[in-house]
Amino acid sequence: MENSSQQTEIEQVKCLIIGSGPAGYTAGIYASRANLSPVLYEGMQTGGQLTTTNEVENFPGYPEGVSGTDMMEDIRNQALKFGTDIREGNVTSVELTGETKTIVIDNKKTIEAQVVIIATGASARYLGLESERKFRGMGVSACAVCDGFFYRKQQVAVIGGGDTAVGDALYLAGIASKVYLVVRKNYLRASKVLQERVAATPNIEILFEHVTQEVLGDDSGVTGLRLLKQGKDEVVVPVTGMFLAIGHKPNTDIFKGQINLDENGYIITEGKGSQTNLQGVFACGDVQDPTYRQAITAAASGCKAALDAERYLQTI
Ligand code: NDP
């Protein structure tokens, strides 16, 4: 019961932003400039997914490219400069259906907000293999930029054929002795420019039409991958690291049953705006965008959500 005073503490805010990627921080910039006094909770991964990417080369305004971490620091500082109250903490439950929205932080602090902007993004997907779970953190990773360093001069595999997988393979090729890019189809989904770079990188080998069956390993961690080639032949590749790059899952579990989600769990927003099915609740960034998923589109939707929130507040 020693936490009872904390548990009963309720803070009232006008505008609460949940999430700290380009969408959340941009919503913070616009909401603070509109005098909405936004409070922003950063969630588990401060700065969002971009902090796990290497170089961002396609965000306008950075002609020389910029690291994902530096760019998020820049946008965060811009939100702080205009008065966004940025806090550490994770939203653990919500009640968003009424006029006043109730949000619980880290199972202890309660916030009542007039508007809520959801920018919780998406998280890396895993294959779902038992052996993959067993070796998570012991050779299995979903963040090449975070963990690649540990595989200097070793052999690693990247799973996936999209921009993330190819970008990760290129990044790891600069550290590891050899990178296997394991692609389930017979073509890459990644953009042409990245495909050309992979083709020009001698220590990347693409294994088309290979599906991961099992992560092999022992007490020291991962020792290899057992793959099925073209649905019939088994192949073992000797690697000490396996990097997942097979897409993402929207972070919407805490909103289930309140906010309308599509069949893949993404928040459904109305028309060109950020309005969810609930009055006063807006969504922006990857949590509502299964299509574009770029830093620039996330930032733009954060702007829209703040403008939508501002207009909504004028009506109540
Ligand atoms: P994508 O959804 O584009 O690609 C996922 C890849 O993983 C596909 O090759 C897919 O195969 C494969 N895959 C999915 N599930 C499995 C599975 N169970 N087993 C094996 N392979 C699997 O995701 P990304 O994260 O690569 O990209 C997401 C978005 O972000 C895209 O719009 C991309 O353009 C963008 N992006 C842009 C970057 C940039 O511009 N610099 C950098 C990174 C991402 P299949 O093709 O068979 O479905």
| 245-281 tens-digit pLDDT | 999 999 999 999 999 999 999 999 999 999 999 999 9
* Residue 65 CB less than 6 A away from ligand 1: no
146 is catalytic: yes
| Rounded (5°) CA angle 35-36-41 | 130
The listed CATH number (2.40.10.480, 3.40.50.150, 3.50.50.60, 3.30.1330.60) that belongs to domain 126-244: 3.50.50.60
| CATH number given to 9-123+248-313 | 3.50.50.60
The pLDDT-based confidence of 87 (bands split at 50, 70, 90) is very high
Dump pLDDT digits (tens) for 140-156.
Answer: 999 898 789 999 999 99
Probe ligand 1: pick from 164, 188, 287, max atoms within 8 Å of CB? 164
* Residue 184 CB less than 6 A away from ligand 1: yes
What are the residue boundaries of the structural domains of the chain, listed by start?
9-123+248-313, 126-244
Residue 6 has pLDDT above 80, yes or no: no
* Residue 121 CB less than 6 A away from ligand 1: no
Contact 295, 20 (CB under 8 A): no
Q: How many angstroms separate the Cα of 135 from the Cα of each of 76, 130, 249, 313?
A: 34, 9, 21, 48
Which residue in the list 147, 163, 168, 308 is annotated as catalytic? 147
Give yes or no on whether 9-123+248-313 and 126-244 have one common fold.
yes
